[in-house]
Homo-oligomer: A and B are copies of this chain.
Amino acid sequence: MEKKNVPSLVKDQQLIHKRREQIIKGAVRLFIEKGFHRTTTREIAKESGFSIGTLYEYIGKKEDVLYLVCDAIYDEVTERLKKQLHTTGPALQRLKEAIRAYFLVIDSMQEEVLVMYQETKSLPKETLPYVLKKETEMVDMMEEILADCKKENVLNLSEKEMKLVTHNILVAGQMWTFRRWALRRHFTLEEYIDMQIKQLIST
């Protein structure tokens, strides 16, 4: 749960939090529109509602904004998903619902998720581990439910197979964003979800 420490010249932690939310909100919009590299720091400042000088009171360098953005998107995806997860009931049903919930969250945050995946390579080197760790956490969440399925004997998968299915689930979700140009032509979201669930859990 640790986060990379992004340097700030401002002391007031609450203010930092507030301003960074503004920054993230403004930057996401811009990154969606034109990508990280084509967005200038001045644009980020303006979109955030303050001056360039103020922007740099809350970050150390432009790349920090990208980290804040990716981190925030991940947090939101995870958080929204967690809210939808059931903790009781048959494991297989919980799994299917988890996948559905995950896909729905992704769909509702399409643009953001796309940004996150496309700009990951531009993240400051030191922060990449922090972001990948978040991915790992999601993997773990899914894997846990799959493990429950195994315990309940409704899914007969080896450890490795479970690992693979988990990755396939996550990728199928992301795929809905980065291949939408092709998928949208053939499937509605509901169709896509149903079919992928069927494919992924071939029961």
Complex alpha-carbon distance, A179 and B168, angstroms = 11
Q: Check if A135 sits within 8 Å of B182, measured CB to CB.
A: yes
Q: Check if A121 sits within 8 Å of B118, measured CB to CB.
A: yes
Q: Check if A164 sits within 8 Å of B35, measured CB to CB.
A: no
Interface stretch (choices A70-78, A101-109, A194-202): A194-202
Shortest distance in angstroms between A156's beta carbon and chain B's nearest beta carbon? 12
Complex alpha-carbon distance, A165 and B192, angstroms = 11
Q: Beyond A167-B183, A202-B202: 12 further Cβ-contacts under 8 Å?
A: A37-B37, A132-B182, A136-B182, A139-B182, A160-B186, A161-B195, A161-B199, A163-B187, A164-B187, A165-B199, A168-B172, A171-B175
Give 4 nearest A-B pairs by CB, closest first: A202-B202, A37-B37, A163-B186, A171-B175
